[in-house]
Chain A
Amino acid sequence: MEKSIEQTSQKTNRKVIKNRVAYLDKQVPFYTPFVGILGLLLLWELIAQLGFVSPLFLPAPSVIITTGWEMLTNGEIISNLSASLYRILMGYALGSVFGILVGLILGFFRTADAIGTPIVYSIYPIPKIALLPLFILWLGIGELSKVTIIALGVFFPVVINTFSGVKNVDPLLVKAAVTFGSSRFNVIRKVILPGALPMIFAGLKLAAGTSLLLLVSAEMIAAQEGLGSMVLHYGNLMIISKLMVGVLILSLLGLTFNKVLKWLEGKLIPWQ
């Protein structure tokens, strides 16, 4: 958007007025985002190769990649990753389904709100990982206790977001639905749920980070397999390149998680 006004009367004294907020719509070439990451990797590689830092403490990216490839081919990554994926997906699914359900009920029914909300808010501030020993005693050291802790960590942000999403639905839309013959159940299904969906997704995204954190913590405390125990294991052995591979995979896992949620949000909320 180039806007210019010219003073045509005196050509010698011409002053062109330019758009002074052009930087607001400045376009960046598509490769710019990669430049930063590549630059950082290059710098890291250089520092490691030139021997500024002992490779024992900071292995070069190239070393991490080759170590990663070895661990991938000998199946170490696959077995650890699949154990972790099972836990986080089960926990996340359970926590979000129950979270959305409970959030809808608390938001819609006044009595449920009065009874349930104080309970939710009193359990919410407990750091969930503190409950792991308790769950191990109750549910055993197996998968169930880890899945439960993740589910619980996901449940709360989802409940609270769903709840406020329901409260924020325009009452006029509920009136409109009732006018056109909607039953209570249909009001929840066709008005409250879609109306709360943007907030529900905010909760789901928040919970994605929490679930990853709980996964790693729980696996560090009580697991033989999984990315968390793998990272801890190689830390204890001082094999930092393998430790870094674990961290790298966790970072990729988090990224994928976010991408999937974003894609799902676009699919489920096309009206925004």
Chain B
Amino acid sequence: MKIVIENVIKKFIDAKKNEVTALNDINFSINEEEFVVLVGPSGCGKSTLLNIVGGLLSPTSGDVYFDGIEQDPTLGIVFQENALFPWRTVFQNVVYGLEERGASKKEQKEIGNHYLDMVGLADFRDAYPKQLSGGMKQRAGIARALAVEPDLLLMDEPFSALDAQTRTLMQEELLTIWNRTRLSTLYVTHNIQEAVYLADRVIVLSRHPGQIKQIIHIDLPKTKRNSEEHIQQFNRYSEEIWELIRHDAQKALKE
């Protein structure tokens, strides 16, 4: 199975009635058990692309499809602003997708508790989202996406609203969880270190129009990438990506 993004173009009409090309001819695929990270300066259309892949936005032209799959693919999305239902408890949020798929109460309970345990929220299963900290909300969001056991996991800057320390911890935790589930994942971020830390492949986007600048394989073991042993290679990747983005990011700043 793989997910193919083929000739995707997205055009918008802006406030001045001008046509703006947000995404120009995007082509890549996500393999089974592959962690792909989209990285780029703000305004490069990376969130737009993720929304198209997630079926929340239609492309102007081009296709997104799952290759080699029998049933309708299941998607799990982790949103930047977590998008937990405020009227549901943590547990009820986590099992939402299962509920909509018609899973039995017993199944919901088993799977729900399993993923709550995995993200470390077992003690907060009956709390409402309002009672949780930012990091805990995002864990709940991750558990909700994992609970449907998706064919593709989509994550839209899930940690960008967190403070730096929580963020580091969450990245480590995400990696641990990912190593247990090994889901095909498309992850959007503007943080280069985060991209190198998590990805099998980093897709660097440029802006105006948003298009693929380069695809970089991260040839490092999946764990302990920032350890003494790999730190040099890690930094080399980061610098390489930064060099690709730098010019665009500077221009973005001037707008």
Interface residues, chain A, with chain B CB atoms under 8 Å away: 170, 172-173, 175-183, 186, 190-191, 194-195, 197, 269-272
The smallest beta-carbon distance between A201 and chain B, in angstroms, is 13
Chain A residues near B81 (CB-CB < 8 A): 172
Q: Could you jot down 7 A-B contacts, CB within 8 Å?
A: A170-B83, A172-B81, A180-B144, A180-B148, A191-B85, A194-B87, A197-B87
Given A194-B85, A194-B87, A271-B87, answer yes or no on A186-B100 (Cβ-Cβ < 8 Å).
Answer: yes
The smallest beta-carbon distance between B73 and chain A, in angstroms, is 11
The answer to whether A179 touches B54 (Cβ under 8 A) is yes
Complex interface bits, B63-101 against A, C-beta within 8 A gives 1, otherwise 0: 000000000001111010101011110000000110011
Residue B124 interfacial (CB < 8 Å): no
Residue B164 interfacial (CB < 8 Å): no
Q: Which of A179, A183, A190 contacts B77 (CB 8 A)?
A: A179
The answer to whether A173 touches B100 (Cβ under 8 A) is no
**7 nearest A-B residue pairs (beta carbon):** A180-B97, A181-B100, A176-B83, A194-B87, A271-B128, A179-B77, A172-B83
Which of chain B's residues has its CB closest to A270's CB?
Answer: B128
Given A173-B85, A271-B87, answer yes or no on A179-B75 (Cβ-Cβ < 8 Å).
Answer: yes
CA distance A233 to B121 in the complex (A): 65
Chain B: number of interface residues, binned into ranges? 20 to 34
The smallest beta-carbon distance between B144 and chain A, in angstroms, is 7
Given A172-B79, A271-B128, A271-B130, answer yes or no on A180-B87 (Cβ-Cβ < 8 Å).
Answer: no
The smallest beta-carbon distance between A137 and chain B, in angstroms, is 45
Chain A residues near B100 (CB-CB < 8 A): 177, 180-183, 186
CB under 8 Å from chain A, chain B span 80-134: 81, 83, 85-88, 96-97, 100-101, 128-130
The smallest beta-carbon distance between B114 and chain A, in angstroms, is 17
The smallest beta-carbon distance between B77 and chain A, in angstroms, is 5
Chain B residues near A271 (CB-CB < 8 A): 86-88, 128-130
Identify 7 new A-B residue pairs, CB closer than 8 A, beyond the known A179-B55, A180-B97, A181-B74: A173-B85, A176-B77, A177-B96, A178-B55, A178-B56, A181-B101, A194-B85
Which of chain A's residues has its CB closest to B101's CB?
Answer: A181
Chain B residues near A172 (CB-CB < 8 A): 79, 81, 83
Q: Which of B55, B79, B101, B128 contacts A176 (CB 8 A)?
A: B79
CA distance A173 to B56 in the complex (A): 12
CA distance A271 to B92 in the complex (A): 12
Given A181-B97, A181-B101, A186-B100, answer yes or no on A175-B56 (Cβ-Cβ < 8 Å).
Answer: yes
Chain A residues near B54 (CB-CB < 8 A): 179
The smallest beta-carbon distance between A173 and chain B, in angstroms, is 6
